[in-house]
A and B are shown apart, each in its own frame.
Chain A
Amino acid sequence: MTKPNEAILSDAGILFDKITNAHLMHQHVEATASDGCDLHRLWQAANGQADDTVLHAISLNLTARRQFKAILSQKASAYQPQQAAASSDSNIRNGADFDVRITPSSSQDGLVYVQLIFHQQASEQDTDKQMLISHCHGIFRQKPLTAVQDQRIQILLHHDDPMLKDLKDPETELYIK
């Protein structure tokens, strides 16, 4: 996608934010992509208001994927890019906005703790964090988040959860909305 197109999409995202009647807007926006992944749906997904089926549909559509990434980069309150090189410890990811720590439960029953540790003070950052969205090899996944406590959010995953594999993959980009 060319730079001007990205800029147009960014403006579109900001415009959607400012319009309170999203349903009305939806009626005026034509679908821009196939598989029902129009801008309104992408905008909803980027706000954490879409289910896993919609994210799957976006992952399968190249255009929708690019548009979704562009909207996400505008909407996300925190972002962690791909890791520069494969870390020696795949259970730790460091980033400018937040770090990720993956710790299996000591009961060894498959439960894994994922902690997102924010670098900014809680008062300075947007405390209304709803969703963690990962993007790895063209596939988007999401997990709902709990409240920030002591500058960190902790979620519980099963060790077979695909999101966990994404978090350990240095190719993965992470967005928090």
Chain B
Amino acid sequence: MTCVFIPTTQHPVEIISLTEEHSDIQSVICITNTFNALPVSTAYHGFVRRPTGIIQKLTGIPSFRADVSGIIDQGDSWQLSMLIAHRLHHHDQFRKAHDAAGHMAHIWASGQVDINQNVTPIQHIREKFQASQSLFDDIRSRGDQLHIVLHPDNWAELQDMITEDMICHRVSVAADIDQLLSDARLSVFQPHSNLATSRLRPHQNISTSFRRLFNRSWKRRMLGYGLTMSIMISLQQMIPWHPIHAAMEMEKSGAHVELIRMLKSYRQDDRFIPRLSFLYFEEAYLKEKSRTLINQLDMQLVWAVSDDNSATCGNAQMRWHRYQITDKTLPSLPRQRCQLYLEIQNNGTDRLALAVAIHAKDGDTITPILQPAQTELAPTEHIRHPVQTGDNKPLIIMMSASDHLTMNWYRWFKRWSNRPMGMNARKSLLDTGIGVHMAVQDKP
């Protein structure tokens, strides 16, 4: 079982349960079995619900009730533990996974989290750690795992108090939290003796050493900058400015086929500097444009469930939910949903050409749900595609966006749509500055 604890200066508080509530309900933290809302409930509501909330952004669910074992008076240090608990809950891992031997994973986390999952350090960490000693002893005596999750600054404060049997995770960005969740889920099935090796990952060792090297003195940094500048000046004479300018003009005029031919020819160029220059042009201009175009789109999954959670639809009491598609994964959707739509809005200032396709995935078989279609969206305009999923199969949503309504890139999109996992057509789109996004459901 994976348990999550919120340390306070008085005692550690365990998150006992998370319950998805009706979207009209304000999220609340209660002491379990008492129905008393804690004073931090107002802040928790803001932490869950959009626009400020991170939990709705990640899970698509706007309201939760969290039951905890004790009082949390004030502050925001509960946010990191709550985020971890919600993410485990979203993947059906919260207080559920357990191994055959009955070992448990305990996550003790403290930190403030912003909407992008960046973690900031908190105060009184030593007092909190001290107040949790009896919990740690209890965990040790049962032979369970203990994961300590903190911002690197807080970790530095606690270095002398942390013992060998604690598995430490220093988290400051979303990727660190992803890694922690992956560790927490997997390591619960590993023998306890193997855990000491996971205290510091090899890539963390390298990056930490690298950071230390460059933090030693500002003189070393200045020397590095100076050296880079002089190399750049000497190399700029060898950079093929005219071909790069021609490539930019091709992209601007929508001559994507000619552009990709030119890129291919420079990728095979024997000369190092022209090849490197075009590589930089692709990364810094074309792929950046591709990302910008996709970021201009507000893509949301919208679904309704009947108010009484029954299979019957069509009554006036339906609860509507939204999930903003921002990354490569889609949330699991309720099986007894009434309707499902894909909504796309152009939030940019220019007219965009948009291509969309939706598929259902059944192992290696891909079944089209929405055939590829190309359309134009004016600024602030939006389209809504109904998504008809007869059988419960994971969805694949594919879309491309460009400022050129031409068949050149749409042909590539159709080819990509036929083989969503194939790389060639997708790469052609990305390489020529066409916005590309694919989101896949793990579970239906």
Chain A residues close to B by CB (< 8 Å)? 101, 103, 105-107, 110-111, 113, 115, 146-147, 149-150, 152, 154-158
Q: Which residues of B contact A158 (CB under 8 A)?
A: 35
Q: Which residues of B contact A150 (CB under 8 A)?
A: 26
A105 touches B65 (CB 8 A): yes
Complex A-B: 30 CB contacts under 8 Å: A101-B24, A103-B21, A103-B24, A105-B19, A105-B21, A106-B20, A106-B22, A107-B19, A110-B35, A111-B30, A111-B65, A113-B21, A113-B25, A113-B28, A115-B25, A115-B26, A146-B42, A147-B42, A149-B42, A149-B45, A150-B26, A152-B26, A154-B25, A154-B26, A154-B28, A155-B37, A156-B30, A156-B36, A156-B37, A157-B35
B17 touches A107 (CB 8 A): yes
Give the docked Cα–Cα distance between A87 and B151 (Å). 54
Residues 15 to 68 of chain B near chain A (Cβ within 8 Å): 17, 19-22, 24-26, 28, 30, 35-37, 41-42, 45, 65
Q: Which residues of A contact B309 (CB under 8 A)?
A: 106
Q: Which residues of A contact B65 (CB under 8 A)?
A: 105, 107, 111
Q: Which residues of A contact B17 (CB under 8 A)?
A: 107
Q: Which residues of B contact A105 (CB under 8 A)?
A: 19, 21, 65
Determine the main DSSP class of A at the interface with B: strand
Q: What distance in Å separates the Cβ of B43 from its nearest Cβ neighbour in chain A?
A: 10
The 6 closest A-B pairs by CB, nearest first: A107-B19, A154-B26, A156-B35, A111-B35, A113-B25, A156-B37
Q: What distance in Å separates the Cβ of B31 from its nearest Cβ neighbour in chain A?
A: 11
Chain B residue nearest to A104 (CB atoms) is B22
Determine the main DSSP class of B at the interface with A: mixed
Chain A residue nearest to B307 (CB atoms) is A103
Q: What distance in Å separates the Cβ of B235 from its nearest Cβ neighbour in chain A?
A: 57
Chain B residue nearest to A155 (CB atoms) is B37
| Sample of 13 more A-B contacts, CB < 8 Å, known A113-B21, A146-B42 | A103-B24, A105-B19, A111-B30, A111-B35, A113-B28, A115-B25, A146-B37, A154-B25, A154-B28, A156-B35, A156-B36, A157-B35, A158-B35
Q: Which residues of B contact A113 (CB under 8 A)?
A: 21, 25, 28
Q: Which residues of B contact A101 (CB under 8 A)?
A: 24
Q: What distance in Å separates the Cβ of B305 from its nearest Cβ neighbour in chain A?
A: 11
A115 touches B24 (CB 8 A): yes
Q: Which residues of A contact B25 (CB under 8 A)?
A: 103, 113, 115, 154
Q: Which residues of A contact B42 (CB under 8 A)?
A: 146-147, 149
